[in-house]
Amino acid sequence: MTAHVGVLALQGDTREHLAALREAGADASTVRRRSELDTVDALVIPGGESTAMSHLLREFDLLEPLRDRLAAGMPAYGSCAGMILLATEILDAGVPGRDAVPLGGIDMTVRRNAFGRQVDSFEGDIDFEGLDGPAHAVFIRAPWVERVGPQVQVLARAGDHIVAVRQGSVMATAFHPEMTGDRRVHKLFVDIVTGRV
């Protein structure tokens, strides 16, 4: 079975995720409308600006349909801003009215820009559960997870901070695997979508 995975294409690094998903064996396409969301088996929410994405989800009438699909069990993967949006609670969510809105895909509390501003961006190798060997992680104004619920599996940490999680068929990373040549995180997600793991 080939998974049809959509990439939310309202704002952020859409092209990189599309390429990574295709290299990982998925049929990948962009999602900007409700009709496109309805046709995919799973969704990737890319990195970008979580407040801008939240605003555009409202503008494109995708916010509630996306919450409904997640509640119904649609697999999803979020990187960086995508991790923020998949949370049940967001700390430092932004200015009221232009704030990042939680989609409730993973029972976790996430802090936006936790590692600092753009100048504080960094990269390094981290151990990632389910991968054969460390993953090279690129952190750009990255969040971290401050609380996880009992059903959430911690997949990776950077120092003392949780930076990758999974709850059922929903996965999130604080870093950007799409920006490296390593496709193992995307392959893991494709395997989750197709029921291999």
Catalytic residue among 16, 49, 80, 186: 80
Catalytic residue among 17, 55, 176, 186: 176
Token pair, residue 45, equals 């929410």
Residue 89 φ then ψ, to 5°: -145, 135
Contacts for 148 with CB less than 8 Å, ≥ 6 apart = 106, 107, 108, 154, 162, 165
Residue 80 is a catalytic residue: yes
Query: 55, 98 in Cβ contact below 8 A?
Result: yes
Residue with tokens 């920006």: 179
Catalytic residue among 16, 17, 49, 178: 178
- Packing angle between helix 63-71 and helix 50-59, nearest 10 degrees? 100
Catalytic residue positions, numbered = 80, 176, 178
